[in-house]
Amino acid sequence: MSDDLQPIINDLNAPFWAGAREGKLVLPYCVATQRPFWPPSPMSPWAEHAAIGWREAPARGVVRAMGVYRRVFLKAFEPLAPYAIALVELAENVRLHAHVADAHGANAPKVGDAVRLHFRVLIESGQPVLCAERVRG
């Protein structure tokens, strides 16, 4: 049996995954308040009965927490181990999880570091996933 590594794509999150395939960070936002949010929702967390739209967001943030995984739970992730997942806070107070390659490397981000976000395919035939790299200087 092979691991199914495809995300569940539905009406709520399809714009995010379409943006990911184009290398763009696209987030839902409240049309009334212009505030982005995550996770996707059919209604605004900011204004009752407000419409929801999607737009590209700046792909920079700050690492607020990070966990390093040395044990893999899916065989397809073995070549990536050890790897880290960072909780990244964008300037607009949206928090997202992002993959961190080479978690123990000299250039790996630490909690409090500024990071640039980008999408990358990590596993053959997988979807591009959000990744974080430390901003130098």
Residue 38 DSSP class: S
Specify burial of residue 126 (Cβ count, 10 A radius: 0-12, 13-18, 19+). Answer: middle
Is the dihedral angle over the CA atoms 76, 71, 67, 83 positive or is it negative?
Answer: negative
Specify burial of residue 110 (Cβ count, 10 A radius: 0-12, 13-18, 19+). Answer: exposed
Average pLDDT, the chain: 92
| Angstrom distances, CA of residue 22 to CA of 2, 26, 42, 121, 131 | 27, 10, 23, 12, 14
* Rounded Cα gap, residues 115 and 127, in angstroms: 21
Q: Give the tens place of pLDDT for each residue, 125-134.
A: 789 999 999 9
* Rounded Cα gap, residues 31 and 16, in angstroms: 17
Would you state the pLDDT for residue 1?
39
Task: Locate the domains of the chain by residue range.
Answer: 9-57, 59-137
Q: Give the tens place of pLDDT for each residue, 16-37.
A: 999 999 999 999 999 999 999 9
Would you state the pLDDT for residue 107?
87
Q: Give the tens place of pLDDT for each residue, 60-93.
A: 999 999 999 999 888 888 888 888 999 999 998 9
Asked whether the beta carbons of 115 and 86 are under 8 A apart, the reply is: yes
Domain 59-137, CATH: 2.40.50
Q: pTM here? A: 0.90
